[in-house]
Amino acid sequence: MKKIILQLFLGLLFLTAVAQEQTPNQILPYSYQYYQKFNNSVYDVDSKVHSSIRGFYSDDTTLVGRYNELMNMGVDSVGHRSWLRRKITQEHLLNFIGDDYNVYADFLPDMMIGRDVRDKKNTWLNTRGFQFGGNVGSKFSFYTSAYENQGVFANYYSNFVEQNQVVPGQAGGDKLNNKTKDYSYATALISYTPNKHLNLTLGRDKNFIGDGYRSVLLSDNTAPYSFFRVRATLGNVQYQTIYAYMLDPGADHLTEDRRLGDRGKWMAAHYIDWNVTKRFSAGFFQAVTWADAEPEGKRGFDFNYAHPFVFLRSVESANTTSPDKMRLGFNLKYEVFDHTIVYGQFMFDEFTAKEFFKGTGYWANKNAIQIGVRGSDLIKVKGLNYLAEFNTARPYTYAHFDRVSNYASMNQPLANQLGANYREFVGLLNYTYKRFDFSGELMYAKKGLDSEGQNYGGDIFKSYNVRVSDYGNEIGQGLATDLYYGEAKVAYVLNPKYNLRIELGGIFRKESNAVSSTNTGLFTIGLRSTFRQLYTDF
């Protein structure tokens, strides 16, 4: 708990605010389920929101009405409500409001019990957390949260934790090999908006770029990391630059002195999004990663990448002494009908034109693609949102000859959690009626796993220098594995201020190949809170 308190103290020096009563320039925390409730406002021909840059700002005129509606869903003004009832159903635990400030604090329970009927195993989660945030004036906002967790998970989830030494999307730790996983998790943000055109954010959290459920450019799949972010808006164009520092616990240490900690990496990611017309948007993405320390010595932040408007490819090409890794990408969106869009992403990792057009499966033609459709009010049912999405990545995409400069953080990919060498289909339905939330997901993935001692390109933490072949590489090569996943949830929101809810859920998962087959049938019930996006569909 001392570690959590220390992280909280440091967090107060960092960034942004969460979804609360509407105050200026707060960033709405991203979770897929929560953001579905904004679909009608975001994916509208008259909307000026840059939908692929998340999270959204609460002071965007397109979102204010819906934002306040959600935060006051079911809230009444009856004066005789007891203090306890008001705190459980409609208010923050603590809330201090003045002429130019609004500060709040909440206790965040996240407790769940379950039963895996396939493995005949009981599961449970016991999380105690809190959040503290608010705004001072119209330009400054802050937010920090911390959680202390213990849990016993389904076998597939526990196996992932033990193999990768990280709880997906949350944290690593030294108590993850026990049956009961014990770990802490913290985020912190500070946001400063000097004018309507510029926002500066410093923090430890996640970022997401795209209009889909997944992202092949930058997703919120990993544990939180430290970053400084700049967003500049001018007319129909928004520019975002992220400078981030991440850890790679799985990388070999350069010295025998482990007290120096895990090796780190830097990332500079630039994204420009242009709402070309009322229906069409286009975005261009660049990201470069490099090791903080190399065998020759500590390198630190490379100020060659500090300029937010530079075309990084030319800089990286000129910087021939460093093993940096560049990736380029595009994000496109078109509204085909009212509140219905088609969207897509394309990411270049490496590209050799003469080999690409030969169609020989050259290993260095590495790329990832996303195509999807999403919309709201399906079959004219208000609040019924849907998404259908396809994602794929060629073998060796996102990998590098040095794992420290690959596209990952805390032993998890920064893009799709399947890494590379996969094809994935995802379908989602979400429905909100008053304080009831319903959601369902179906996912199928075909991926190629490695045989012992072989690298078929799915594990992005392996050096591509040990690839199986230069030519003839195809998606799904290696140990062909089928992954089926289905999930359904129903929740009743007790308090919209911090998303306190009673939740029932069920997960079916099957993973099979020629070597093994695993099945999960998990049913859960819990008292949950916060707006975090935590993935279990892998």
Residue 334 CA to residue 331 CA, distance in Å, equals 11
102: three-class secondary structure by DSSP: strand
Query: Would residue 232 count as lying in a domain?
Result: yes
Count the helix, strand and coil residues of the chain and give each as a percent rounded to the nearest 5.
15, 45, 40
**Reduced to 3 states, what is the DSSP secondary structure of residue 254?**
coil
**Residue 535 is assigned to a structural domain of this protein:** no
Instruction: Please state the pTM of the whole predicted model.
Output: 0.90
Amino acid present at 71: M
- Say how many CA atoms lie within 13 Å of 297 toward its Cβ: 1
Alpha helical stretches, state H, 52-128: 64-71, 83-89
Q: What's the confidence (pLDDT) of residue 213?
A: 97
Task: Judge whether 538 lies within some domain.
Answer: no
Could you give phi then psi for residue 523, rounded to 5 degrees?
-120, 135
537 in any annotated domain = no
Q: H or E element: which one contains 33?
A: helix 32-35
Low-confidence ranges of the chain (pLDDT < 70): 1-26, 58-61, 77-80, 255-261, 294-297, 308-322
Phi, psi of 349 (to 5 degrees): -95, -55
* pLDDT of res. 232: 94
515 domain-assigned: yes
Is 533 part of a structural domain of the chain? Answer: no
Query: Which CATH number covers residue 184?
Result: 2.40.160.130
Kindly report, residue by residue over 526-537, the tens digit of the pLDDT: 999 988 899 999
Q: Which of 208, 281, 280, 278 is nearest to 238 (CA)?
A: 281
82-89 long-range Cβ contacts below 8 angstroms, 24+ apart: 87/495, 88/494, 88/495, 88/500, 89/494, 89/495
Domain that holds residue 105: 2-528
Rounded CA separation 99/76 (Å): 23
Q: Which residue in this structure is represented by tokens 């490496």?
A: 350
In a domain, 65, yes or no: yes
CB of 396 closer than 8 Å to CB of 464 = yes
Amino acid 10: pLDDT: 41
Look at residue 426 and give its three-state secondary structure.
strand
End-to-end CA distance of the chain: 30
Instruction: Give how many domains the chain has, as a whole number.
Output: 1
440 part of a folded domain: yes
Q: Quote the pLDDT of residue 81.
A: 79
